[in-house]
Structure 1
Amino acid sequence: MAKERNNTTVTKFILLGFSDFPKLKIVLFTVFLGTYLLTVAWNLSLIILIRMDSYLHTPMYFFLSNLSFIDFCYVTSTTPKMLSDFFQKPKFISFMGCAMQYFFFSSLGLTECCLLAAMAYDRYAAICNPLLYTTIMSPTLCEQMVVGAYITGIFGSLIQLCALLQLDFCGPNIINHFFCDLPQLLVLSCSETFFLQLIKFVIAVIFGVTSVIIIMISYSYIVATILKISSLEGRSKAFNTCASHLISVTFFFGSGLFVHMHPSADNSLSYDKMAAVFYTVVIPMLNPLIYSLRNKEIKDALMRYKNKRVFSHCHS
C-alpha cells in the first residue's frame, strides 16, 4: 500500500553524515581526507606503473589497473561530498544530485563485482591451464571482459535510476547517512517502492550472487590443481598468485553483504555507516596495497622505475 502523500515535493535532501559524533568532527575529517588522498595517490600510481612497465603488460595487471581505476572513481563518487559536508550546515544535496551520486556509486560497485569475477577466471586459466594461458586470455578477450563489466554495471545501475526517478518524495527529507544510498531513499519515498525493491533484489542476485558463484567455481578448480602440485614451493607460489585477489573479494563482498542483506533498524544505523565507510573508503585504499605488498612483480617494477630514475639523474 502506498504511503499517504501531502502536497509538498522534496527537491533537496539533508545528509546527516557523521553528526552523531560532533566532538570528533575535526578528527574524522582529517582521517577521511588523509585516507582519500592516499587512495587517489596509490591507485593512480599503480595504474601509471602498470602502463609504463612492459613486464606488467599481462592480463592479470590489465585487470588490476582497471580495478585501481574503478576504486579511484568509486571513492571519488562519495568522499569529496562527504568531506565538504563536515563544514556545511545544513548538509544539502539536490534530489537530482542525490540520484546521480547513487547512479555513479552503484555503477562502479556493480562493475567491480564483474571485474572481480573476471580476475578469478584469469587466475583459474593461469593455474589450471598454464600452457594455454596466453591463448585463453588473449588481449581481445581481456578487453571484452573489461568493457562488458563496465557496460553491464552501468546498465544495471541505469535500470535502478530510472525506477528511482519515478518515485515521489513528499517529506521528510533527512538521510541518516553520509551519501545517497538506495535503502535510505526508499524509506523516505511516499510512493509504492515494491517494484524498485524487486529490481534491487534481482540486480543484487544477478551481479552479487553470480559473481560469487563464478569466483567460488574458479577457486574450487584452483584449489584442486594446487593440491596436485607435489612440491611445497610450487604450492606456495600458486597460492600467492591468488591470495591478494581472495583478500579483496572477501573484503568487498563481505562488507557489502553486511550492509545490504540484514534488516535495518535504528540502532544499527551507526554500524551500517561504519560498514559503508569500510567498502566505500577503506577498501579502495587497501586494494593497491594488498596487490603491491604481496606481489614480487610489482616490487620489481618499482625497483626498475627507481633505478631508471637514478640512472637518468646521474646521466644528466
Structure 2
Amino acid sequence: MKTIFKTITIVFLCLQSSNLAAQELDPRSYVDLPTGQNFFGALYIYTEGDIYTSPDVPVEDLTLEIDGPAIAYAHTFELFGNASKIDIAGGQACSYGEAIYQGENISRKYCGMTDTRVRLNYNFYGAKAKTMAEYVKQPKGIVVGASLQVSAPTGQYDEQYILNIGANRWFFKPEIGTSMPFGSWELDLAISAKIFTDNNDLQGDKKFEQDPIYNVQSHLIYDFGPGHWISLNGNYFWGGDTFVDGAKTAKKAGNYRAGITYSRALNSQHSIKLLANKGVTTNRGNDSVVYAIAWAYRWD
C-alpha cells in the first residue's frame, strides 16, 4: 500500500503544479489604473477533469475535482512615478481524487486552507501615476509592465496523506506583459516563468523537485462600455519536469488552454466577473475544466 500512496502522491503533485500554470488566464493584468484605489474581492472556483500521466506511471482513470471560496485584496499606488498594484489572495478548498492502481480503486477527499499568494505589478511604460480625477480624462494607450508573484506554503499539508491542498513549497513567478487598445478592442500579451523551491517532506523523507513552467498567454478583449467587457483567452505552457530524490518521475509536454472571461460593473463600486477555461490539447498533465464567479468592491 505504501507504493500506491507514493505513486499517487507524485502524480497529484505533478498535477498541482500544472493546474496552477494552466488556470492563470488573467486578462487586463497590465492596464493603466488610478492610484489610491482599494479592491476587495470574493470568488468561488470549481474545477474538474482527467489527468493524463506518463506511460511509466501505473495509474489509470485518474480524475480530480477541486472547489472552494477565496478572498483577495488589492491596492494601487505610485512607484517611481508610475501606476503600480499589490494584491494578496488566499482561500479554502476541497479536493476529491479517484484513480485505478493495478485494478484497485483508490480515492480521497480532503479540505484545507490554500497557499497564500502575493503579487506586485509595476507598469513601467504608458501608465504614469494619476489620481481618479486625472485618470478619467486620460485616453487609453499602450501599457507595458512587469510583475512578480510569490506563493508561500501556508496551505494545509500533511505528509502522510496522498492529496494535500498546500504544496509545501514556494514558487516565484516573474512576468512581463502588455496591453494594446485599438478602438473598442484590446490585445493583451504576457510571458512568464514559474520557479519552484523543493518539497523536502514528500512521504516524510523524499525530496520533490520541479523544473520551471513557462507560460505564454494572450487575450482579445471587447469593450461594450465603461466597466463592461468580454475576453477570449488562450495560453501555451511547457516545462515542469519532476524529480523525486533526483530520479525523473514525469516529463511534461506542451499544452494549450482556451477560455472566456466576462466582467460587468454594477455601479462605480461593485462589479462581477464570470470565467471558464478548458484544455484544448493535453499531452500530459490535466485536462480540466475551470469555472469561477467573482465579486469585487472598490473604494478610495
TM-score computed with the length of structure 1 as normaliser: 0.23
Which structure is larger by alpha-carbon Rg, 1 or 2? Answer: 1
Structure number with the bigger relative contact order (C-alpha 8 A, sep ≥ 6) is 1
Greater strand fraction, Structure 1 or Structure 2: 2
Q: TM-score, normalised by structure 2?
A: 0.24
